[in-house]
Amino acid sequence: MSANRKGDRRERELVNRLDEAGFAVMRAPASGSATTRELPDVLAGNGEVFYAIEAKSSAGDPIYLTGEEVEALIYFAQNFGAKARIAVRFDREDWYFFHPGDLYVTDGGNYRVKKETALAEGEDFDEFVGRSQKTTLDDLD
């Protein structure tokens, strides 16, 4: 299966999960190739919170986003009145969400998310949609 087809399938999966969680959600058409404007992959809102989401998936290698992709997402989200989020999914794992400012920036100005970083630091799906809250050991003191 081509990487594009797999990415499209993953985006549709994310849209369906957000819909099931009570969000009004839409997938942008071809995320930028259908228009000269850069659009996020997914727009979602539930009446209280609105997200512009760039979705990326990987078999296990780190996920990279260009500085331009992240800048375009932030620009769109600010103008739209949404929160910018990066959604990542590694094979055999769930979706994890990051604020763009929480991502590792490479020397070349690109952004990177490693699988172990997603699992340890990312906001999981249930937390993202408001079904649960992350508790750390520091919270228990």
Q: Is 41 annotated as a binding residue?
A: yes
pLDDT at residue 36 tops 80: no
- pLDDT band of residue 30 (cuts 50, 70, 90) is low
pLDDT at residue 80 tops 80: yes
- pLDDT band of residue 133 (cuts 50, 70, 90) is low
Least confident residue range of 69-73, 103-107, 131-135? 131-135
Read off the pLDDT of each residue in 2-23 and give the average, rounded to a whole number.
86
Q: Are strands 83-90 and 95-98 parallel, antiparallel or unpaired?
A: antiparallel
Read off the pLDDT of each residue in 87-114 and give the average, rounded to a whole number.
95
Q: Is 54 annotated as a binding residue?
A: yes
pLDDT at residue 2 tops 50: yes
Q: How many CA atoms lie within 13 A of 30 on its CB side?
A: 6
pLDDT of the residue at 32: 45
* Cβ-based neighbour number of residue 22 at 10 Å: 12
Catalytic residues: 31
- pLDDT band of residue 60 (cuts 50, 70, 90) is confident
Entry field: residues in the chain: 141
pLDDT of the residue at 35: 53
Whose CA is closest to 22, among 129, 140, 115? 129
Q: What is the pTM of this model?
A: 0.86
pLDDT of the residue at 89: 95
Give residue for tokens 């797999």. Answer: 6
pLDDT of the residue at 135: 56
Read off the pLDDT of each residue in 53-68 and give the average, rounded to a whole number.
93
CATH class of segment(s) 3-140: alpha beta
